[in-house]
């Protein structure tokens, strides 16, 4: 998938991945990859800044833990993040229905 | 990560990423800790898939993207982080400078109202403009971006440099005003002038950092 197609949707996708519970950054990115059937396969290191931006916006929050001697940052949705995900879903449903209605339509037979 | 060559590969990669990161030290440190943890997980996953440690480390590093690509992806967040930290610093420490000027040039008790206040502290309009600009930076780079348009990192840096310049202009103005006023030198004046000179020095540093970060952003 071309990265520019993801523009504007990455925030919603990251929020959706965190909907089931807290995850650390690498797990979020792997779930994004696995959940999209590897269609969304961005360089892992470039997805972390998107998580940091969501935290700055107050849509997710993070806690630092120490696991196996390594410092780990686990992210979770905030109440504002849950609301934002709901809004993203509503907008996406409307948008995808409109696009599917146009792009998904079979070509009409030519009229004489 | 118990394999020394694999650990060396990860550390070399992180050093390369670190060399491309510019911004607040704590923020850079947290980024590198997070990347180190993620790489550790990525190596474990590949090891479980059957790759030997060195090949697992190479594959994990490759999946993260080039060090330049990763550092570049963080440049906006680091620039925004610096801008927020700097303007919050100005807002938090501003009263510590202002209070001394206020104590020194307080309006006469029976001269009241805004005009009397501005006559006594003529830099107030500059201070007000600085506070408004700082409030704009904080609002458009923090939680309010859920409702307000988000400031692009380069705009946040420009506004931060503007706040620093306004603060320095206000300080210079107050020092010049005091020197011309003929008020007798006293301990309060020494503290007020010293605080302003210190802030002017900090302002020069902030403007230079903003300029450097802007140049880094332009390269990404």
Chain B residue with minimum CA distance to A33:
B63
As a 3-state breakdown, chain A gives helix, strand, coil percent values, each rounded to 5, of 55, 15, 30
Residues of B in contact with A80 (CB under 8 A): 143, 146
- Locate the domains of chain B by residue range: 4-65, 75-219
Interchain proximity B37–A24, CB inside 8 Å: yes
Structure tokens that stand for A90 in this block: 């509503």
Token pair in block for residue B33:
């800790």
pLDDT tens for chain B, 220 residues: list them.
567 788 899 999 999 999 999 999 999 999 999 999 999 999 999 999 899 988 999 999 999 999 999 999 999 999 999 999 999 999 999 999 999 998 888 766 666 666 777 777 788 899 999 999 999 999 999 999 989 999 999 999 999 999 999 999 999 999 999 888 877 768 889 999 999 999 999 999 999 999 999 998 988 7
CATH of the domain at A71: 1.10.10.10
Total domain count for chain A? Answer: 1
> What do you get for the CA distance between the two ends of chain B, in Å?
32
Q: C-alpha angle B76/B79/B82, rounded to 5°? A: 150
What phi and psi, each to the nearest 5 degrees, are found at residue A97?
A: -65, -40
A71 three-class SS:
strand
Is A81 within the bounds of a domain? Answer: yes
| Cα nearest neighbour of B43 on chain A | A26
Q: Which domain holds residue A32?
A: 3-103
Q: Is residue A108 assigned to a domain? A: no
Of A49, A70, A71, the CB nearest to B73: A49
In-domain check, residue A48: yes
Under 8 Å between Cβ of B139 and B148 = yes
Q: Residues of A at the B interface (Cβ-Cβ below 8 Å)?
A: 24-27, 29-30, 43-46, 48-49, 52-53, 56-59, 67, 70-73, 80, 84
CA distances from B182 to B84, B89, B141, B169, B172 (A): 39, 32, 44, 21, 16
CA dihedral sign of residues B72, B133, B160, B90 = negative
Query: Which contacts qualify for B92-96: CB closer than 8 Å, 24 or more apart?
Result: B93/B199, B94/B127, B94/B130, B94/B131, B94/B167, B96/B195
ipTM field: 0.86
Tell me: the pLDDT tens digits for A17-55? 999 999 999 999 999 999 988 888 888 888 999 999 999
Contact between residue B39 and residue B88 where contact means Cβ atoms under 8 Å apart:
no
Question: With the C-alpha atoms ordered B10, B20, B202, B165, is the resulting torsion angle positive or negative?
Answer: negative
Residues B156, B137: contact at Cβ < 8 Å? yes
**For A53, nearest residue in chain B (alpha carbons):** B77
Question: Distance between CA B207 and CA B83 in Å, rounded?
Answer: 11
């Amino acid at each position: 998938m071309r990265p520019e197609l993801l523009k504007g949707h990455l925030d919603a996708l990251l929020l959706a991945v965190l909907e089931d519970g807290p995850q650390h950054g690498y797990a979020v990115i792997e779930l994004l990859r696995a959940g999209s059937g590897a269609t969304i396969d961005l360089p892992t290191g470039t997805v972390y800044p998107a998580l940091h931006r969501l935290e700055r916006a107050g849509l997710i929050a993070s806690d630092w833990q120490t696991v196996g001697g390594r410092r780990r940052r686990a992210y979770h949705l905030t109440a504002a993040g849950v609301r934002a995900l709901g809004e993203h879903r509503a907008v996406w449903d409307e948008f995808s229905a409109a696009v599917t209605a146009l792009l998904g339509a079979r070509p009409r037979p030519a009229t004489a | 990560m118990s394999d020394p060559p694999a650990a060396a590969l990860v550390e070399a990669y992180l050093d390369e990423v670190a060399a491309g990161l510019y911004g607040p030290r704590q923020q850079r440190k947290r980024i590198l800790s997070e990347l180190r943890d993620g790489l550790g997980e990525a190596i474990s996953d590949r090891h479980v898939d059957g790759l030997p440690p060195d090949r697992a480390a190479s594959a994990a590093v490759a999946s993260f993207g080039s060090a330049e690509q990763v550092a570049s992806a963080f440049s906006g967040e680091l620039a925004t982080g610096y801008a927020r930290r700097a303007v919050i610093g100005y807002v938090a420490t501003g009263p510590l400078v202002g209070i001394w000027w206020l104590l020194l040039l307080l309006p006469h008790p029976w001269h009241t109202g805004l005009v009397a206040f501005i006559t006594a502290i003529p830099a107030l309009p500059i201070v007000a403009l600085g506070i408004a600009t700082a409030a704009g930076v904080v609002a458009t780079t923090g939680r309010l971006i859920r409702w307000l348009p988000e400031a692009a990192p380069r705009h946040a840096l420009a506004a931060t440099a503007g706040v620093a310049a306004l603060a320095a202009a206000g300080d210079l103005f107050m020092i010049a005003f005091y020197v011309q006023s003929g008020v007798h030198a006293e301990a309060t004046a020494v503290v007020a002038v010293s605080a302003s000179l210190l802030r002017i020095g900090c302002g020069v540093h902030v403007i230079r950092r903003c300029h450097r970060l802007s140049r880094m952003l332009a390269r990404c």
